[in-house]
Structure 1
Amino acid sequence: MKLNFKYMIVVGLLIGMTGCDDNLETFEIGGSTAAPTAIATSAVNSDPLPGQIKLTWNTPSEGAFEYLQIKYHDPLTEQDVCKIASIGTTEMLIEDTRARFGDYSFFFQTFNAAHQGSEVTEIKAKSGAAPSTTTEKSRTEMKIEADQLSTNAQEPSEGPIKNLIDGKGNTFFHTRWSSPQIELPHYIQIDFKEAHEDFAIYYQNRTDNTWTSEGRPSVVELQISSDGKNFETVATLSGLPSAHSTEYTSEFVVPGKTFTSFRFNVIATSGNTKYFNLAQFKFYDVEVEIYDPETVPLD
């Protein structure tokens, strides 16, 4: 016997579907009332995604069933969940899952046009780790002394590096523009007296040369070192402002390790000059808060 009509399924009211979501879904019912074919365990695959589980299954043969029910227990919300899929669906994304819970058990059951169910197939699947989030709580400006600063390209005729920390917007630091010029990168190095970890930086473009927008940092590597000699890049800044007097404040950087030396390493400039200049520079220690859904205590 075959049924050919649109059947409005009231999820949660069908026989054998207690606990399903109370929503309405419309399926085109045009199949047999013969016993539905169960989903084979071997026909289902699972992929652990960050905070998600992706379930996929083989395309069923024509008339195998009319719709599919997937039930599982969500250990995070401590709720039983029921999902409904039409015969044309071959994948489902289960969201807000956790690796910490190990195996999730999914119970697949198919139904024919008369809502008669097949045998239940259990599929076990794992979630990928839900990603953590890091937020800034506060930032504190670090006091820098002139003897902590150095550069590989000081211009000998003007703009000493100590001007970066004099608190005056009308002075500036300038890397070498006179002959013989030094190829980029040019850097500002700070050697700290103590270890630092999470940080942010601020600078102001030179204020007095209003006639030009050249010679501003346009691409900068933020580098750290534990010995003042061997540096690694932990962030790269680009799209930086080129207008005179413009102030720039970076997002916080979490390098995942401590360091005692820092470099503001300029690898490109506006106007493609072989030098750069700045009015002021500041370094901030940043206090961050990390929320890890895989380790946070559960209620």
Structure 2
Amino acid sequence: MKKNILIIGLAGVLGTFIALSSCGPDYETEFSVLSLTIPSESQAAIVFPLAGGEHEIEVETNVALDNWTASSNAGWCKLQKHEGKVTVSADENEDYKQRIAEITIAYGHQSFSINVKQFGLEPVIEVEGLTADGMKIVDSKATSLTIPVNTNLNLDVITVPDTCDWVRFNEPEQPKAKKSQKAEKAENTVKKNLTFTLDQNTDTLVRYCTVTLQSSQNYNCVGTLIIKQQPRGYIVDIDESKKEYQVKATGETITIPFKVNGPADAYTYEVEASAREWITPLPATRGMRDASESFIIQPNTVEEERVGHITFRSTDPIEPNEFTVTVTQEKFIPVPPEGVKNPTATPGAGFIKLKWEMPVNVNFTKMKVIYHDPVTKEDMELEIADNTTNLFIVDNTFKCGGEYEFTIKTYGPTGMETEQPAVVRGTSGESVIKAPIALTVDMFSANATEPSEGSLAALVDDNINTYYHTIWSGTSPNKQPHYLQINMSELPLQSLRFEYDGRNNGNGAGDVKRVGIWGSDNGNTWTLMGKETYTLPGSRGQHVEPNENIKAGKPYKYIRFIPEARRDADPIDPSGGNGWWNMAGIYLYKINDHDEAWARKELGI
């Protein structure tokens, strides 16, 4: 009985197996994967002008049109689905502010979000692609840069500080429209590309340049960006003419001059393997490197050739060595020096600005401006110990003094006077003790402008509700104090004062309490002219005057305003993110010794 049961069970299992096998198909099943993708170029933010327009988003999908979705979270942002694309449209924006929407295109878990903006009547300048602290970081080898900007203004005032000679803005060409030319796409009316030419950074230090974007349609709307160029690593360079050497068959020693921007271990060299038997380094010179010293050769004032020797010695205590250089200077030939050409005289408030052209052959060492002062009744001789300048400011002149006559003479090394003095006549403007100087934003440059608020233009827009702010969102560049630099190359200043308007909102913490005023002739070497202190008012937005004026030992072409203390920080520490200061406006005055009333009294009129 058990045997029969086992046979019946095995038969049942076998039957089930056969039945299951007979139910399977005789082919393989294929599965279709449904997907939806938005190409990366179509995921960029969409920006519409005030008048509105249309924009197409490409959609790559094998999903039926009815099975994927396209939605907007704002009624003004309208969508229409098509095979392979979504059309986005917006009517004219009647609001003052710009409006923002978000589009979502999705199939199941595959979802893409795209931002949409439309400008309103409010002027806007938005710079794309910046870091959180408002910087555009470029490689040290970069020679060009394109910055995309969204704006509803004509960006025709692009300011690169004169201290950033490694950045140059490329003015865009304005092509003439053709009759057959199609209408411009809506998004192209608000997207601008600004292009800049850059010099490669050959230094081992990072460098910064703050660029200001404005429009003559509305100077109060300002965009800024900081171009940060990365430092260069150690590099070696050589002139093309030094790359090939023809060597005698008998052999010789060659010296290869080149340049390097680092220490002794900043470079290596390698002779290719196939040439190492016949090209070997000279051991005695392996550690040598290019070096130089500069010497000023003073004018020869005698009618004889002169010879001098300069000896260079090593300081090695075991095996010192030395070499001697011979300098031969030509004898002095006593001929009268040439004079300056075509002088002009321009009136100012208590001064007269003289300018002239240099001769082709500058064979003089100094100049003098000679004139009679009609107010003090003195004959004046003002010496210019320089043979390169073509500008001089004659201070303490007066309108009531009438016409001044100036003679400009040049002098050779022995004091021989030119036979061709230049003469020019001119009058002065009215003198006041505190003569205001008209400042413009193109005269300004700064090392630490805050990218998110407060531009240099606010300092001269005569609006108490706008303000300039130095950087607080990051550390000070190179941990240096935040300065404002003013180019006064057309009116070098010796006596001056700065006044300012405090910021009208906020808590007043950024009001400047003490400032160092520095001067330079070339924008590189700086001398402290003096310091000003300010007694701060108790309320915001007030005009602040210094407790003292600045009077330096000589006039300077470049002036730096470097705050040392503010209302809530004395001293200001620029090493971190607390080196900032702010103000609503700044005023620069030239200080004269006497005013017009004093001169009239001297003249008895």
TM class by shorter chain equals 0.3 to 0.5
Q: What TM-score results when the alignment is normalised by the length of structure 1?
A: 0.47
Structure in which a larger fraction of residues adopt helix: 2
| Higher relative contact order, chain-length normalized (CA < 8 Å, sep 6+) | 1
Q: What TM-score results when the alignment is normalised by the length of structure 2?
A: 0.24
